[in-house]
Amino acid sequence: MTRNEGPLAAIWSRAYPLLTVTALFWAGNSIVGRAARDLVPPAALSFWRWTFALLLLLPLAWPHLKRDWPVLRANWPIVALLGALAIGSFNILLYTGLQSTTALNSMLIQSALPALVLVVGALVMGDRTSARQIAGVLISLAGVLAIIARGDPAMLWGLRLNIGDAIIGGAVLLWALYSVLLRRRPVVHPLSFLAASMVVGIAVIAPVYAHELWSGRLIVPVAGSALAIAYVSIFPSFLAYLFFNRGVELIGSAATGQYMNVMPLMGAGLAMLFLGEALHMFHVAGLALIVAGILVAGRAPPAAQA
């Protein structure tokens, strides 16, 4: 650190402290979503999360948005699709799944993202996959199924699955699709792209939120509701995305994606610490298989941004 460099400037120049905080913020998103499930309905949490995050982001993004608007407008189909997947669909599905499954299960299922990216890349983009990568995918899939079945294969055969686990599995699949399609995003400033994605995501969430209100599912007006919305708006949305983009600038997307694979492990620890969720042998076995599959496949995908 130079004499004129303050502590904040020093942290801003170091990728791994920034990415560690980012992983904690994103892991905390599932913890808060689970803890607040009886206070803030899923569409409401998604809608207000991204609305407030957009308000925080706009002062920083506005100069870039003005410059990049012609490019964004010319590429609106892919911008709309990516925003709908990442900001709109993923978040509602995540919070909906957390209504009926544990944050621990959620985080461990999300750890299968690297394997899913390989599968989706092969199916959607025609990416070539080796026998080793296919083996890694199958090993990771076995780990996910072990967690979803809670160690009991009879649950899979009888289709007696927790609906929350299935919904979160769908959310992670959509994020894998987003990760693969992200290579087609227009070449604009990261803040411009993030702001445009937020606008699209809010537009996708709005009718779902309206239906939620019409059905009588309202935010419980207590302090815990406000704190939950404040956390998900500021930390896993506004700050985490800034830190993640800075990490990519400092060490590149591949190294950043690899490092962010620690997020599910952090989330599992937070779930046990703050929610009192128990770690069972099927969690350990499933996670071991998922990590083994990632190592066998040997490719670092874009990280999930919860």
pLDDT score for 158: 52
Specify whether the backbone of 10 is left (phi greater than 0), alpha (psi in -120 to 50) or beta. alpha
pLDDT in tens, 151-189: 666 665 554 567 898 899 899 899 889 888 888 889 999
pLDDT in tens, 232-269: 999 999 999 888 888 877 887 656 766 666 777 788 78
109 or 63, higher pLDDT: 63
Q: Taken in order 54, 56, 59, 64, is the CA torsion positive or negative?
A: negative
pLDDT in tens, 140-154: 777 777 776 666 666
Give the span between the Cα atoms of 224 and 40, in whole angstroms.
Answer: 9
Output the six-digit token pair for 244: 């993640």
Q: Per-domain residue ranges for the chain?
A: 21-299
**Taking the CA of residue 208 as centre, how many other CA atoms within 13 Å lie in the half-sphere pointing to its CB?**
21
Give the span between the Cα atoms of 286 and 293, in whole angstroms.
Answer: 11
Q: Read off the pLDDT of each residue in 6-17 and give the average, rounded to a whole number.
A: 74
Q: Which backbone phi and psi does 287 adopt, to 5 degrees?
A: -65, -40
Give the span between the Cα atoms of 229 and 64, in whole angstroms.
Answer: 27
**pLDDT above 90 (res 54):** yes
pTM for the predicted model, two decimal places: 0.84
pLDDT score for 284: 81
Local confidence band at 192 (pLDDT 50, 70, 90 cut-offs): very high
Which percentage of the chain shows pLDDT scores above 90? 43
